[in-house]
Copies of this chain bind each other. A is one copy, B any other.
Amino acid sequence: MKALERLETIRDPLEELLGFELRRTSVAVSNAFAAAVEPLGLRTSEATLLIFIAANEGCTQSDIARALRAQPANLVPLIQKLVQTGVLARAPADKRAVSLLLTKQGAELAKQVNQAAAKHEARIARRLSPETRTQVMKALRMICKDACCEDS
């Protein structure tokens, strides 16, 4: 039946590695977030943008790109869509920069996004004590910094 003995037991060496566990968890959490904002007709990137702009009304695309570590070029179609659907409005800041504002409809949508995000946050952290959550956040920031930088 078997030309070569099939493996009876599969083990997963990846689940002992922090890097991969981080990635898997991130994927699962991102999928859950996407599902949470999908009823609002938004993708993850659009919902993220709304949360950011709601907290920084009047910011520009380059503000967003810097803060969210995104490529400015990739924000263009995203913001165009949100302007066309009446969620965002542009107002000239100076002759080259453009301030982004929420329309009345956009403010309502942003509120719903924030509610969905809060519910999602509560869900993914529901088995973590506040202290553990704080410690995990702190650890994540350290890991992120140590992964990014080159040196000692």
Contacts and interface: CB of A to CB of B under 8 A. Distances in A.
The size bracket of the interface on A is 35 or more
Q: How many copies does the complex hold?
A: 2
Q: Is the interface of A mostly helix, strand, loop or mixed?
A: helix
A132 interface: yes
A30 interface: yes
A136 B48 CA distance: 25
Contacts of A135: 132, 135-136
A32 interface: yes
Contacts of A97: 6
B144 A28 contact: yes
Interface string A47-62: 0100110111111100
Interface of A: 1-7, 10-14, 17-33, 48, 51-52, 54-60, 63, 66-69, 91-94, 97, 99, 117, 120-121, 123-128, 132-133, 135-137, 139-144, 146-148
7 contacts: A10-B66, A11-B55, A13-B55, A14-B48, A19-B30, A22-B140, A29-B144
